[in-house]
A and B are shown apart, each in its own frame.
Chain A
Amino acid sequence: MIKTNSVLDAKGLACPMPIVRTKKVMNGLEAGEVLEVQATDKGSTADMKAWAESTGHQYLGTVEEGTVLKHYLRKASGEEHEEKKHEKVISNEELLQKIEENQKTIVLDVRESAEYAFNHIPSAKSLPMGELEERFSELDKESEIFVICRTGSRSDLAAQKLTAAGFKQVVNVEPGMSQWNGPTKKSVNE
Protein backbone atom coordinates (compact mmCIF):
# COMPACT_ATOMS: atom_id res chain seq x y z
CA MET A 1 0.00 0.00 0.00
CA ILE A 2 1.54 3.24 -1.15
CA LYS A 3 0.44 6.45 0.54
CA THR A 4 -0.93 9.12 -1.81
CA ASN A 5 -2.82 12.39 -1.52
CA SER A 6 -5.59 11.32 -3.87
CA VAL A 7 -6.87 8.21 -5.66
CA LEU A 8 -8.64 8.24 -9.03
CA ASP A 9 -10.78 5.26 -10.02
CA ALA A 10 -10.57 4.98 -13.81
CA LYS A 11 -11.23 1.25 -13.88
CA GLY A 12 -13.27 0.02 -16.85
CA LEU A 13 -12.71 3.22 -18.81
CA ALA A 14 -11.37 3.11 -22.36
CA CYS A 15 -8.81 5.44 -23.92
CA PRO A 16 -8.70 8.45 -23.77
CA MET A 17 -10.80 8.61 -20.60
CA PRO A 18 -8.10 7.63 -18.05
CA ILE A 19 -5.96 10.54 -19.28
CA VAL A 20 -8.85 12.97 -19.43
CA ARG A 21 -9.85 12.14 -15.84
CA THR A 22 -6.24 12.25 -14.64
CA LYS A 23 -5.86 15.71 -16.08
CA LYS A 24 -8.97 16.92 -14.23
CA VAL A 25 -7.94 15.49 -10.86
CA MET A 26 -4.38 16.73 -11.25
CA ASN A 27 -5.68 20.29 -11.73
CA GLY A 28 -7.16 20.14 -8.23
CA LEU A 29 -3.99 18.95 -6.49
CA GLU A 30 -1.31 21.06 -4.86
CA ALA A 31 2.20 21.09 -6.31
CA GLY A 32 4.21 18.12 -5.06
CA GLU A 33 1.18 15.99 -4.18
CA VAL A 34 0.94 12.40 -5.34
CA LEU A 35 -1.96 10.83 -7.26
CA GLU A 36 -2.76 7.14 -7.69
CA VAL A 37 -4.70 6.32 -10.88
CA GLN A 38 -6.37 2.92 -11.00
CA ALA A 39 -7.02 1.75 -14.56
CA THR A 40 -7.76 -1.42 -16.48
CA ASP A 41 -6.95 0.00 -19.93
CA LYS A 42 -3.72 -1.79 -20.85
CA GLY A 43 -2.57 1.13 -22.97
CA SER A 44 -2.72 3.43 -19.97
CA THR A 45 0.83 2.70 -18.76
CA ALA A 46 2.41 4.02 -21.94
CA ASP A 47 -0.12 6.87 -22.05
CA MET A 48 0.55 7.97 -18.45
CA LYS A 49 4.29 8.08 -19.07
CA ALA A 50 3.87 10.10 -22.25
CA TRP A 51 1.28 12.37 -20.63
CA ALA A 52 3.57 13.11 -17.68
CA GLU A 53 6.46 13.72 -20.04
CA SER A 54 4.62 16.36 -22.04
CA THR A 55 2.79 18.06 -19.16
CA GLY A 56 5.88 18.23 -16.93
CA HIS A 57 4.50 16.09 -14.11
CA GLN A 58 6.53 13.27 -12.60
CA TYR A 59 5.64 9.68 -13.51
CA LEU A 60 6.78 7.55 -10.54
CA GLY A 61 5.79 4.08 -11.64
CA THR A 62 3.07 1.50 -12.06
CA VAL A 63 2.07 -1.46 -9.91
CA GLU A 64 0.04 -4.31 -11.40
CA GLU A 65 -2.52 -5.89 -9.12
CA GLY A 66 -4.49 -8.57 -10.93
CA THR A 67 -6.17 -6.78 -13.83
CA VAL A 68 -5.79 -3.35 -12.23
CA LEU A 69 -2.89 -1.06 -13.08
CA LYS A 70 -2.04 1.47 -10.41
CA HIS A 71 -0.15 4.43 -11.80
CA TYR A 72 1.61 6.90 -9.51
CA LEU A 73 2.13 10.51 -10.54
CA ARG A 74 3.46 13.54 -8.68
CA LYS A 75 2.30 17.02 -9.59
CA ALA A 76 5.00 19.31 -10.94
CA SER A 77 6.26 21.71 -8.32
CA GLY A 78 8.87 23.98 -9.85
CA GLU A 79 10.99 23.25 -6.77
CA GLU A 80 14.21 23.20 -8.79
CA HIS A 81 14.37 26.98 -8.87
CA GLU A 82 14.32 27.56 -5.15
CA GLU A 83 17.45 28.90 -3.57
CA LYS A 84 19.26 26.43 -1.34
CA LYS A 85 20.34 27.58 2.12
CA HIS A 86 21.75 24.69 4.14
CA GLU A 87 25.52 25.04 4.15
CA LYS A 88 26.75 21.50 4.64
CA VAL A 89 26.39 19.70 1.33
CA ILE A 90 27.76 16.57 -0.24
CA SER A 91 27.65 15.32 -3.83
CA ASN A 92 26.02 12.07 -4.94
CA GLU A 93 29.43 10.57 -5.67
CA GLU A 94 30.84 11.44 -2.25
CA LEU A 95 27.79 9.97 -0.54
CA LEU A 96 28.10 6.78 -2.56
CA GLN A 97 31.70 6.49 -1.43
CA LYS A 98 30.72 7.00 2.21
CA ILE A 99 28.04 4.28 1.97
CA GLU A 100 30.55 1.89 0.40
CA GLU A 101 33.02 2.56 3.22
CA ASN A 102 30.46 2.34 5.97
CA GLN A 103 27.20 0.43 5.57
CA LYS A 104 25.81 2.17 8.64
CA THR A 105 25.87 5.63 7.03
CA ILE A 106 22.50 7.20 7.80
CA VAL A 107 20.63 8.32 4.68
CA LEU A 108 17.29 10.01 5.19
CA ASP A 109 15.02 10.12 2.12
CA VAL A 110 12.48 12.95 2.50
CA ARG A 111 10.57 12.40 -0.76
CA GLU A 112 6.94 11.22 -0.78
CA SER A 113 6.55 7.56 0.07
CA ALA A 114 5.39 6.78 -3.48
CA GLU A 115 8.61 8.23 -4.88
CA TYR A 116 10.64 6.21 -2.39
CA ALA A 117 8.72 3.02 -3.20
CA PHE A 118 9.77 2.94 -6.84
CA ASN A 119 13.42 3.92 -6.46
CA HIS A 120 15.60 4.45 -3.41
CA ILE A 121 19.07 3.84 -2.00
CA PRO A 122 18.89 0.38 -0.37
CA SER A 123 19.96 1.59 3.08
CA ALA A 124 17.92 4.83 3.03
CA LYS A 125 15.21 5.47 5.60
CA SER A 126 11.97 6.95 4.25
CA LEU A 127 10.67 9.99 6.12
CA PRO A 128 8.48 12.16 3.89
CA MET A 129 8.91 15.91 4.31
CA GLY A 130 5.35 16.33 5.60
CA GLU A 131 5.95 13.91 8.49
CA LEU A 132 9.38 15.17 9.44
CA GLU A 133 8.55 17.17 12.58
CA GLU A 134 6.33 14.54 14.17
CA ARG A 135 8.97 11.86 13.62
CA PHE A 136 12.11 13.69 14.87
CA SER A 137 12.28 11.19 17.74
CA GLU A 138 13.17 8.36 15.33
CA LEU A 139 16.50 10.04 14.66
CA ASP A 140 19.64 10.50 16.72
CA LYS A 141 20.69 14.13 17.27
CA GLU A 142 24.41 13.35 17.47
CA SER A 143 24.76 11.18 14.37
CA GLU A 144 25.77 12.33 10.93
CA ILE A 145 22.61 12.34 8.79
CA PHE A 146 22.62 12.65 5.00
CA VAL A 147 19.34 14.06 3.74
CA ILE A 148 18.32 13.28 0.17
CA CYS A 149 15.36 14.05 -2.13
CA ARG A 150 14.93 14.22 -5.91
CA THR A 151 16.79 17.43 -6.73
CA GLY A 152 18.22 18.70 -3.45
CA SER A 153 15.53 21.30 -2.67
CA ARG A 154 13.22 19.47 -0.29
CA SER A 155 16.24 17.94 1.41
CA ASP A 156 17.70 21.44 1.80
CA LEU A 157 14.58 22.51 3.68
CA ALA A 158 14.56 19.30 5.72
CA ALA A 159 18.24 19.81 6.62
CA GLN A 160 17.45 23.33 7.86
CA LYS A 161 14.55 22.05 9.97
CA LEU A 162 16.63 19.25 11.48
CA THR A 163 19.47 21.63 12.31
CA ALA A 164 17.05 24.09 13.91
CA ALA A 165 15.66 21.22 15.99
CA GLY A 166 19.09 20.51 17.43
CA PHE A 167 20.51 17.86 15.12
CA LYS A 168 24.26 18.43 15.04
CA GLN A 169 25.56 16.92 11.82
CA VAL A 170 23.04 17.26 9.01
CA VAL A 171 24.30 17.19 5.42
CA ASN A 172 22.24 17.87 2.29
CA VAL A 173 22.86 15.61 -0.72
CA GLU A 174 23.01 17.40 -4.07
CA PRO A 175 21.56 16.89 -6.60
CA GLY A 176 19.92 13.76 -5.18
CA MET A 177 17.96 10.82 -6.57
CA SER A 178 17.27 12.34 -10.01
CA GLN A 179 20.96 11.84 -10.85
CA TRP A 180 21.79 8.90 -8.58
CA ASN A 181 24.04 6.30 -10.23
CA GLY A 182 24.67 4.02 -7.25
CA PRO A 183 22.67 0.95 -6.33
CA THR A 184 18.92 1.34 -5.80
CA LYS A 185 16.03 -0.73 -4.62
CA LYS A 186 12.26 -0.88 -5.06
CA SER A 187 9.78 -1.73 -2.37
CA VAL A 188 6.92 -2.57 -4.76
CA ASN A 189 6.30 -5.35 -7.24
CA GLU A 190 5.83 -4.00 -10.73
Chain B
Amino acid sequence: MSKKVAIIASNGGLFDAYKVFNIATAAAATDQEVAIFFTFEGLNLIHKVANQQLPMPEGKEHFAEGFARANAPSIPELLSMAQEMDVKFIGCQMTMDVMGLDKEAFVDGIEVGGAVTFLEFAKDADVTLTF
Protein backbone atom coordinates (compact mmCIF):
# COMPACT_ATOMS: atom_id res chain seq x y z
CA MET B 1 0.00 0.00 0.00
CA SER B 2 1.24 3.48 -0.76
CA LYS B 3 2.25 5.76 2.07
CA LYS B 4 0.40 8.90 3.04
CA VAL B 5 1.98 12.31 3.53
CA ALA B 6 0.01 15.08 5.27
CA ILE B 7 1.33 18.64 5.06
CA ILE B 8 0.16 21.83 6.76
CA ALA B 9 1.14 25.03 4.95
CA SER B 10 0.62 28.00 7.22
CA ASN B 11 3.13 30.54 5.91
CA GLY B 12 2.96 32.59 2.74
CA GLY B 13 6.51 33.42 1.68
CA LEU B 14 8.41 32.20 -1.36
CA PHE B 15 10.71 30.01 0.73
CA ASP B 16 7.72 28.45 2.45
CA ALA B 17 6.16 27.72 -0.94
CA TYR B 18 9.28 25.89 -2.15
CA LYS B 19 9.47 23.80 1.01
CA VAL B 20 5.85 22.78 0.69
CA PHE B 21 5.72 22.09 -3.04
CA ASN B 22 9.14 20.42 -3.34
CA ILE B 23 8.31 17.91 -0.64
CA ALA B 24 4.80 17.41 -2.00
CA THR B 25 5.86 16.77 -5.61
CA ALA B 26 8.77 14.55 -4.58
CA ALA B 27 6.45 12.48 -2.39
CA ALA B 28 3.82 12.22 -5.12
CA ALA B 29 6.50 11.14 -7.63
CA THR B 30 7.44 8.40 -5.18
CA ASP B 31 3.90 6.97 -5.33
CA GLN B 32 2.76 8.47 -2.06
CA GLU B 33 -0.67 9.90 -1.43
CA VAL B 34 -0.29 13.56 -0.51
CA ALA B 35 -2.67 16.18 0.93
CA ILE B 36 -1.80 19.77 1.82
CA PHE B 37 -3.91 21.85 4.17
CA PHE B 38 -3.48 25.56 3.41
CA THR B 39 -4.30 27.76 6.35
CA PHE B 40 -3.77 31.43 7.29
CA GLU B 41 -0.95 32.91 5.20
CA GLY B 42 -0.39 29.52 3.62
CA LEU B 43 -3.45 30.29 1.49
CA ASN B 44 -1.24 32.69 -0.52
CA LEU B 45 0.44 29.62 -2.01
CA ILE B 46 -2.71 28.64 -3.88
CA HIS B 47 -4.14 32.13 -4.42
CA LYS B 48 -4.31 32.70 -8.21
CA VAL B 49 -2.71 36.15 -8.08
CA ALA B 50 -0.68 36.09 -4.88
CA ASN B 51 1.20 32.87 -5.72
CA GLN B 52 2.74 34.47 -8.82
CA GLN B 53 4.63 36.99 -6.68
CA LEU B 54 5.33 35.51 -3.27
CA PRO B 55 7.70 37.62 -1.18
CA MET B 56 11.22 36.64 -0.17
CA PRO B 57 12.00 37.08 3.54
CA GLU B 58 13.21 40.59 4.28
CA GLY B 59 16.91 41.03 3.56
CA LYS B 60 17.08 37.81 1.51
CA GLU B 61 16.01 39.33 -1.79
CA HIS B 62 19.42 38.59 -3.30
CA PHE B 63 18.50 34.89 -3.37
CA ALA B 64 16.43 35.66 -6.46
CA GLU B 65 19.63 35.24 -8.47
CA GLY B 66 20.36 31.88 -6.89
CA PHE B 67 16.88 30.61 -7.76
CA ALA B 68 17.45 31.63 -11.38
CA ARG B 69 20.92 30.05 -11.46
CA ALA B 70 19.68 26.78 -10.00
CA ASN B 71 16.93 26.81 -12.64
CA ALA B 72 14.35 26.24 -9.90
CA PRO B 73 10.86 25.80 -11.32
CA SER B 74 8.41 28.62 -10.54
CA ILE B 75 5.80 28.14 -7.84
CA PRO B 76 2.86 28.03 -10.31
CA GLU B 77 4.77 25.35 -12.25
CA LEU B 78 5.38 23.25 -9.15
CA LEU B 79 1.77 23.73 -8.15
CA SER B 80 0.37 22.42 -11.42
CA MET B 81 2.81 19.54 -11.37
CA ALA B 82 1.60 18.62 -7.91
CA GLN B 83 -1.99 18.74 -9.13
CA GLU B 84 -1.17 16.57 -12.13
CA MET B 85 0.15 13.96 -9.74
CA ASP B 86 -3.07 14.08 -7.71
CA VAL B 87 -1.80 15.96 -4.68
CA LYS B 88 -4.91 17.02 -2.79
CA PHE B 89 -5.20 20.73 -1.89
CA ILE B 90 -7.45 21.66 0.99
CA GLY B 91 -8.14 25.35 1.63
CA CYS B 92 -9.07 26.30 5.16
CA GLN B 93 -12.67 27.54 5.21
CA MET B 94 -12.29 29.48 8.43
CA THR B 95 -9.29 31.47 7.15
CA MET B 96 -11.08 32.18 3.89
CA ASP B 97 -14.04 33.58 5.85
CA VAL B 98 -11.77 35.73 8.00
CA MET B 99 -9.99 37.13 4.95
CA GLY B 100 -13.19 37.57 2.98
CA LEU B 101 -12.06 35.35 0.09
CA ASP B 102 -14.13 32.79 -1.78
CA LYS B 103 -13.14 29.63 -3.65
CA GLU B 104 -12.93 31.45 -7.02
CA ALA B 105 -9.89 33.43 -5.85
CA PHE B 106 -7.90 30.20 -5.72
CA VAL B 107 -6.50 27.83 -8.32
CA ASP B 108 -8.95 25.31 -9.74
CA GLY B 109 -9.32 21.89 -8.22
CA ILE B 110 -8.97 22.73 -4.55
CA GLU B 111 -11.23 21.39 -1.88
CA VAL B 112 -12.47 23.68 0.83
CA GLY B 113 -12.79 22.26 4.28
CA GLY B 114 -12.25 22.69 7.95
CA ALA B 115 -9.73 21.27 10.34
CA VAL B 116 -11.59 17.99 10.52
CA THR B 117 -11.26 17.45 6.75
CA PHE B 118 -7.50 17.56 7.14
CA LEU B 119 -7.45 15.55 10.35
CA GLU B 120 -9.46 12.81 8.69
CA PHE B 121 -6.72 12.48 6.04
CA ALA B 122 -3.86 12.94 8.52
CA LYS B 123 -5.00 10.49 11.16
CA ASP B 124 -3.35 7.53 9.45
CA ALA B 125 -0.63 9.42 7.58
CA ASP B 126 2.90 7.99 7.67
CA VAL B 127 4.51 11.41 7.49
CA THR B 128 3.10 14.68 8.80
CA LEU B 129 4.88 17.97 8.14
CA THR B 130 4.19 21.58 9.09
CA PHE B 131 5.57 24.54 7.22
Contact = CB atoms under 8 A, between A and B. Distances in A.
Contacts of A17: 73
Contacts of A12: 71
Nearest to A26: B29
Interface residues of B, number: 13
Contacts of B30: 19, 23, 51, 54-55
B129 to A, nearest CB: 15
Contact of A20 (B3, B70, B72, B81): B81
A16 interface: yes
A16 B29 contact: yes
A29 to B, nearest CB: 15
Contact of B72 (A14, A47, A51): A14
B71 A19 contact: no
B31 interface: yes
B22 interface: yes
Contacts of B25: 16, 20
A51 B30 CA distance: 6
Given A14-B72, A17-B73, A55-B30, 12 more contacts: A12-B71, A13-B71, A13-B73, A15-B22, A16-B22, A16-B25, A16-B26, A20-B25, A20-B26, A20-B85, A23-B85, A47-B26
15 contacts: A12-B71, A14-B70, A14-B73, A16-B26, A16-B29, A19-B30, A20-B25, A20-B81, A23-B29, A23-B85, A47-B26, A51-B29, A54-B30, A54-B31, A55-B31
